[in-house]
Chains A and B, each alone.
Chain A
Amino acid sequence: MQERAKPDPPGYFEGESMTRRRVFTIAAQGLGGLAGAAIVLPAVGFAIAPIFHRGKERWEAVGPVSDFVEDTYRQVVFTETPGIGDAGKTTAYVRKSSKELGEEPNLFVAVSNRCAHLGCPVRFVEAAGNFICPCHGGVYDFQGKRIGGPPVRPLDHFQTRVRNGQVELGPRYSVTNQLEPVRARDPGEFTGGIWEYLYPPRPSTFPPP
């Protein structure tokens, strides 16, 4: 096809690299994009901000030191998330650390009742010495290690400390199969080894003790 010489557009000068029309097109689109981003980016940031926000560390007294023994758990209910009534409460099973199990003495162990499978509430069955989940049959031993059913790791723990003769429970943390503390993971997520990368720690959780 033969090219027909087009008349120069108004305002054309020799050696210009861009027509006036093109400059305005790019400028208008750029400004539109900028205005759009100014609306969308803050809104999206607003929605995903909780992922990066870590709340204040909370400690709550759950009873005097003398309440807890080495060979069985005592069930305590405390507030994990304040301000939302019963929905913010959670249950923990607390005991004194046991030398027989090879634990450091004179500490307190607080096991979360949140099943490591999908988060149902487990129950400590005194007669069996096990934690049992009603939803899908997960079973954990006395220390909270998984011994049966679908859970992928041991039960979570809460940090403990003693203040004024009272045992206090703090932030939640997860443990590996060897009971080494790691940052809190959601139920259903493996811990330890390569899983620490496949289920990365979340900035919204507290570092383990």
Chain B
Amino acid sequence: MPKVRLPKIPDAVVPPPLRKPAKPGSGGTPKGQAPTDLKTSTPPRPTHGERLGNVAKEAPVDALGWVDQRLGASGFLTGMLYRKVPKGTNWFYTLGSATLFAFIVQAVTGVFLAMYYTPSATQAYHSIAHINNEVPLGQFVHGMHKWGSSVMVILIFLHMGRTFFFGAYKYPRELNWVIGVVLLILTMTMAFTGYLLPFDQRSYWASIVGININGTGPVVGPYLSDFLRAGPEFGATTLSRFYAIHMLLVPGAIIALIGAHMYLVVKLGTTAPPWLKFEKPKGASPLAQLDAGANGAGHVNGDRVDGSPVGGEGNGAEPA
């Protein structure tokens, strides 16, 4: 077990393998150690006040322990939060979290916008005007949602670029790339369906053009635009259809896929940046030794027999 530096957190939350052995004399003898302090006198009995204080001090930890005993969350959380990352991990690796954060901003502001918005062709424009002009902080929340959507689209493309240029889409992470592409498409769907909702001239004509672009696909195109419009022309239910897709259908799919995406990130670990050289492992596994011996030292990370630095002995990463 390599050394792990832990911040100060209650012992109860740390799973036993990561827990520091107790100091001699403070509750039991560590395994395999002779009891050395038997002759020392027992500590003085705590006073009533001290005992009360101890109980109060232990209460939060006890409560946490009670929950954790039933959830088993601490093992999962420490596994996730203290997992190893490769050497050379840098700011580019934050783009995924940034996209997630942008999504959370969109979800939260979207929920609050829905409290004032009316998805009806005759009232949508006025409800948006009401949000912008009369609701306290309405313009701010609407602005966060509106500009945040562009931020999310930009970030998701930057994240995709990072993944591509760092080669992080290669084995064994292909499936995560595929999930990411689906998430990209869903994000674009959100951007497209959300654009109509203010129902001003720009929204209306942009959606008309967008639907017609969808319609130019051969064979299925005409039916796709009928589906989007709920009819042959822009009609009474087009707006509510876009609204339902925008706030019910796609967000659910996005949340589910983000879960799968992050599960795979935690399970497979992240890649080292491509510019890092492969380092000869210290406690080398036979496979790594064979590989290093055959090709000589100094080839690029990720260029190993299995084609991937998953375990990454050379770059300080082990599966968490």
Q: Which A residues are within 8 Å of any B CB, using their own CB?
A: 47-48, 50-51, 53-55, 80-81, 83-85, 87-88, 118-120, 135, 172, 184-189, 198-202, 204-205
Contact = CB atoms under 8 A, between A and B. Distances in A.
A81 B235 contact: yes
A15 to B, nearest CB: 46
A118 B231 CA distance: 17
B212 A186 contact: yes
25 contacts: A48-B227, A50-B226, A50-B227, A50-B230, A50-B231, A51-B223, A80-B233, A81-B231, A81-B234, A81-B236, A83-B121, A84-B236, A87-B121, A87-B199, A87-B204, A88-B121, A88-B234, A120-B208, A186-B212, A186-B225, A188-B215, A189-B216, A189-B222, A199-B219, A204-B231
Given A87-B121, A186-B222, A118 B212 contact: yes
B218 interface: yes
Given A81-B233, A118-B209, A202-B232, A51 B226 contact: yes
Contacts of B215: 186-189
B122 interface: yes
Contacts of A186: 211-212, 215-216, 221-222, 225
A80 B227 CA distance: 18
A50 B227 CA distance: 7
A202 B215 CA distance: 11
Nearest to B204: A87
Q: By CB atoms of chain A within 10 A, which of B205, B216, B222, B234 has the most?
A: B222
Contacts of B205: 120
Given A50-B231, A189-B215, A120 B209 contact: yes
Contacts of A119: 208-209, 211-212
A17 to B, nearest CB: 39
Contacts of A172: 233
Q: Chain B interface: which size bin? A: 20 to 34
Contacts of B213: 118, 188
A201 B222 CA distance: 8
Contacts of B121: 83-85, 87-88
Contacts of B204: 87
A48 B236 CA distance: 15
Contacts, number: 86
Nearest to A136: B209
B300 to A, nearest CB: 44
Contacts of A184: 232
Interface string B195-218: 000010000110011011101101
Given A81-B235, A184-B232, A47 B221 contact: no
Contacts of A53: 231
A200 B222 contact: yes
A185 B222 contact: yes
A186 B235 CA distance: 14
A135 B208 CA distance: 12
Q: By CB atoms of chain B within 10 A, which of A50, A54, A88, A185 has the most?
A: A50
Q: By CB atoms of chain B within 10 A, which of A48, A84, A85, A205 has the most?
A: A84
A198 B220 CA distance: 9
A118 B209 CA distance: 5
B233 A199 contact: no
Interface in B104-128: 121-122
